[in-house]
């Protein structure tokens, strides 16, 4: 079965959540977010208490009060155990919240794909399906073949025309070649070289300038 036919035979598969489901989903997401925030605040509080008990234990040991230090460490261990439970609860809430939101987004993605499929159906319907496309391409190929045949026929030599004197053509070609060779020959330019005397004078001046510069630096 053609893919076009399969496409048109499919029914509308869009998903529409009921108003009740949408409200319940929104409420659940909000409640889970609030719960996660509350648990996080509780965890931060326990973290501060743990740090405080740690400092108290150190201070007690510094004073030589091992009993007070042990009590502080015991409270710290209790807070630590509560934090472990809170971490697990926070992770569970976050995962559940993420799953609900992913499912909601998944419905939107699915409906977007359904709408895209509807748009493609409309386009294919306007085009006329694969058979219409094949017919158009056949017409294009036929038109191109006819154009090629017409071009070939129009470019054929049908005889007649003016006769050309071959000797005249050879003379004109030889003259043209000679003219081209003359234009391509390089022109020699003779440059005058400086006389030995002037070079000597310039060298002497350079030496004098250099000596003056060295004297000024001493």
CATH number at 88 reads 1.10.287.1060
Is residue 195 in some structural domain?
A: no
pLDDT digits (tens, 9 = 90+) for 37-69: 999 999 999 999 999 999 999 999 999 999 999
CA distance 119 to 126: 11
C-beta of residue 42 within 8 angstroms of C-beta of residue 86:
yes
Is residue 69 in some structural domain?
A: yes
Is residue 76 in some structural domain?
A: yes
pTM of the model: 0.47
Between the CA of residue 9 and those of 49, 152, 154, what are the distances in Å?
A: 66, 48, 51
Residue 197 or residue 36, greater confidence:
36
pLDDT digits (tens, 9 = 90+) for 179-197: 777 766 665 555 555 555 5
Number of domains in the chain: 1
Q: With bands split at pLDDT 50, 70 and 90, how would you rate the model's confidence at 153?
A: confident
C-beta of residue 76 within 8 angstroms of C-beta of residue 54:
yes
* pLDDT at residue number 131: 74
Which DSSP helix (H) or strand (E) runs through 145?
A: helix 129-154
CA torsion, ordered 155, 158, 162, 163, to nearest 10 deg? 100
- Of the candidates 6, 7, 16, the residue with the CA atom closest to the CA atom of residue 119: 7
Q: Flag whether pLDDT at 105 surpasses 70.
A: yes
C-beta of residue 64 within 8 angstroms of C-beta of residue 100:
no
* pLDDT at residue number 7: 47
Sign (positive/negative) of CA torsion 146, 152, 154, 159?
A: negative
- Contacts for 149-155 with beta carbons within 8 Å, 24 or more apart? none
Is residue 27 in some structural domain?
A: yes
Is residue 204 in some structural domain?
A: no
* pLDDT at residue number 116: 82
Is residue 32 in some structural domain?
A: yes
* Token pair 């995962």: residue: 95
Is residue 5 in some structural domain?
A: no
Is residue 73 in some structural domain?
A: yes
Name every residue whose Cβ is closer than 8 Å to that of residue 209 and which is 6 or more positions away in sequence. none
Q: What does the mean pLDDT of the chain come to?
A: 78
The whole domain housing 33 covers 19-107
- Of the candidates 72, 70, 45, the residue with the CA atom closest to the CA atom of residue 56: 72
pLDDT digits (tens, 9 = 90+) for 113-149: 878 877 877 777 777 767 777 777 788 888 888 888 8
């Amino acid at each position: 079965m053609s893919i076009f036919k399969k496409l048109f035979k499919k029914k509308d598969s869009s998903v529409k959540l009921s108003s009740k489901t949408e409200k319940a989903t929104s409420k659940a997401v909000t409640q889970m977010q609030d719960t996660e925030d509350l648990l996080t605040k509780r965890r931060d509080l326990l973290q501060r208490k743990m740090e405080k008990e740690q400092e108290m234990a150190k201070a007690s040991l510094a004073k030589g009060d091992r009993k007070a230090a042990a009590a502080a460490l015991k409270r710290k261990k209790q807070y630590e155990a509560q934090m472990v439970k809170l971490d697990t609860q926070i992770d569970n809430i976050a995962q559940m919240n993420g799953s609900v939101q992913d499912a909601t987004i998944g419905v939107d993605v699915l409906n977007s794909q359904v709408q895209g499929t509807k748009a493609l159906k409309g386009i294919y319907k306007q085009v006329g399906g694969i058979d219409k496309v094949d017919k158009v391409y056949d017409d294009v190929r036929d038109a191109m073949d006819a154009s090629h045949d017409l071009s070939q026929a129009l470019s054929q030599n049908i005889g007649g025309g003016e006769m050309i004197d071959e000797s005249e053509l050879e003379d004109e070609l030889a003259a043209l070649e000679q003219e081209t060779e003359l234009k391509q020959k390089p022109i020699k330019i003779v440059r005058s070289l400086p006389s030995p005397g002037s070079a000597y004078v310039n060298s002497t001046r350079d030496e004098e300038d250099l000596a003056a510069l060295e004297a000024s630096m001493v």
